[in-house]
Amino acid sequence: MNILVTGATGFIGSHQCKELVQRGYQVFALSRSGRTGSIESLLSQKEFHLLVGDIRDADMMRNVIRDNAIKAILHLAALLPKSNKQNDPFLYFDTNARGTVIMLDAAYQNRVEKFIYASTLSVYSEPPEYLPVDESHPAQPATAYGVSKVEGELYCNLYAKAMNVAVLRYSGAYGQGERESNAVLTFIKQALANKPITIHGDGNQTSDFVYIDDMVQGTLLALENSQPGVYNIGSGREISVIDLAERIISITNSKSELVLTDKNTERPFRFFLDIAKAQKVLGYSPRPLDEGLHTYLKEFNVEVEK
């Protein structure tokens, strides 16, 4: 099967491409920048084809899908919050909403069989109305990024009347090849250097962290399963910031100490996803946090506590 992956050189996209190639799919990887760092190892593979283009170019997207006989699309490309510190709603709309409807329409016109849309936990209200957050929870995003992703979901709902569409609401991913420092990567770097681990707020706020390979597997299950719909893809478990830091200190045998700062956290509340639907319908089964951390730390060439 010929599969188009947008955002192919991003953190999630590059891992997704590697797994698809390993499974024998013909992968057409779309990158706006054309940079190949994260997918350099795939360039020599006969199943891998790098394309340079922009999802906002409607004519090009129609041609790419038609000329390469694309049967399925993993639409991962998006303008992320850290990419736009000005929080400009017009920029988010242009890429995340307008870009998505362009991809959906190009897919529809070329009879694509399956469309996977990468959404986000940021579509849910902050703080959540209840825990764990399931797919029926109100989608009332607090950011321009979240609004733009909901708009993309609404376009998916429109086109789902004519083709098989699955919407995946991802939680925060961690793992090999991360480029942006989230809490997991920041704490690992501080622990390995035996530096104080700094925590904003009181540290009791919780999050849902999923290992990148599990997110990739969840996406592939959605691709290979004929059931359309909306699915949460996360760990299904909550962990406080303090507990996360303490686990990393323990696993790495670090001498780091915890330091609480007066700086406010951006998410001062509890949050984690209900993944029961993905487990039941897709067969999704993410690994426990400790197992993910042990696997991740192999990248740093350190001996970890079992």
Cis preceding linkage at 132, omega within 30: yes
- Exposure b/e, 238-256, CB count within 10 A at least 16 = b: bbbbbebbbbbbebbebeb
Q: Would you state the structure tokens that stand for residue 60, as one six-digit string?
A: 């090009």
Phi-psi region of 5 (alpha: psi -120 to 50; beta: other; left: phi over 0): beta
Q: Would you state the structure tokens that stand for residue 248, as one six-digit string?
A: 């990393």
Specify whether 145 is catalytic.
yes
Q: Would you state the structure tokens that stand for residue 294, as one six-digit string?
A: 């042990």
Catalytic residue among 92, 124, 145, 170: 145
Q: How far is Cα 66 from Cα 232, in angstroms, rounded to an integer?
A: 31
Q: How far is Cα 176 from Cα 267, in angstroms, rounded to an integer?
A: 24
Q: Would you state the structure tokens that stand for residue 139, as one six-digit string?
A: 């989608």
- 231 forms beta bridges with 168
> What's the burial of 265, exposed, middle or buried (CB within 10 Å: 0-12/13-18/19+)?
middle
Q: How far is Cα 69 from Cα 259, in angstroms, rounded to an integer?
A: 55
Residues annotated as part of the active site:
145
